[in-house]
C-alpha cells in the first residue's frame, strides 16, 4: 500500500514540475508558437495512466485553465483537452506506453490533435489555418515530444515505467 502512495506522490511531483515549467519557463522561451506545451504533456502523462473518463475530466480541467489565460477562445481549450485526454487514456490499450519512441509519437499526435481542435473551434490565428495546422502545430508537437522524452528519461523510476528504446 505504501508503494502505491509513493508512486502516486512521485507522479504528482512530476506533474507539478511540468505545471511550474509551463508558467515559469515557457513564457521566456524564444518562439512561443513552437515552445513545448508542458501542461499538455502533464495531461498526457496523467491520461495514459488513467481510465478514459477520469482522463477526460482532467483534460476538461486543464482546458479550463488554458481558456482562463486566453479568454478570446473560451471553450475551445476545454473541448480540445477533454478530447485529447480521453483519447490518450483510451489509446493506452492500443499502444505500448513503455516504449520511448511510441510515447513521443503519441504525445506529438496529441499536441497536433489538440491544436487542430482548438483552431477549428475558435478560428485560425494570424497565419491562417494551413500555416497553423501544417507548420506551427507540427513544430510544437515535435518540441513537446522531445520534452516528453527528456522527462521520461529523467524520471522513469519516479513514473514507474520501463522504457524500451
The reported pLDDT for the residue numbered 157 is 84
CA-based torsion, 107, 162, 97, 158: positive or negative: negative
Which of 87, 91, 40 has the alpha carbon at shortest distance from 61? 40
| Share above pLDDT 70 across residues of the chain, in percent, rounded to a whole number | 90
Task: Please compute the mean of the pLDDT values over residues 29-58 and round it to a whole number.
Answer: 95
The reported pLDDT for the residue numbered 2 is 46
The residues near 129 (Cβ < 8 Å, ≥ 6 apart) are 119
**Domain ranges for the chain:** 2-154
For residue range 77-129, list pLDDT tens digits in order.
999 999 999 999 998 777 766 788 988 999 999 999 999 999 999 887 667 88
| pTM of this structure | 0.91
pLDDT of residue 53 exceeding 60, the answer is yes
Amino acid at each position: 500500500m505504501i508503494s502505491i502512495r509513493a508512486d502516486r506522490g512521485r507522479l504528482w511531483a512530476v506533474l507539478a514540475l511540468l505545471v511550474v515549467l509551463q508558467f515559469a519557463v515557457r513564457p521566456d522561451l524564444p518562439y512561443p508558437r513552437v515552445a513545448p506545451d508542458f501542461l499538455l504533456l502533464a495531461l498526457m502523462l496523467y491520461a495514459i495512466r488513467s481510465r478514459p473518463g477520469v482522463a477526460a475530466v482532467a483534460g476538461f480541467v486543464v482546458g479550463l485553465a488554458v481558456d482562463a489565460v486566453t479568454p478570446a477562445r473560451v471553450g475551445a481549450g476545454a473541448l480540445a483537452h477533454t478530447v485529447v485526454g480521453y483519447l490518450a487514456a483510451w489509446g493506452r490499450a492500443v499502444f505500448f506506453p513503455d516504449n520511448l519512441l511510441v510515447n513521443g509519437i503519441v504525445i506529438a499526435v496529441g499536441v497536433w490533435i489538440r491544436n487542430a481542435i482548438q483552431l477549428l473551434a475558435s478560428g485560425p490565428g494570424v497565419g491562417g489555418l494551413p500555416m497553423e495546422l501544417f507548420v506551427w502545430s507540427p513544430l510544437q508537437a515535435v518540441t513537446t515530444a522531445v520534452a516528453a522524452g527528456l522527462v521520461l528519461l529523467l524520471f522513469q523510476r519516479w513514473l514507474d515505467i520501463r522504457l524500451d528504446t
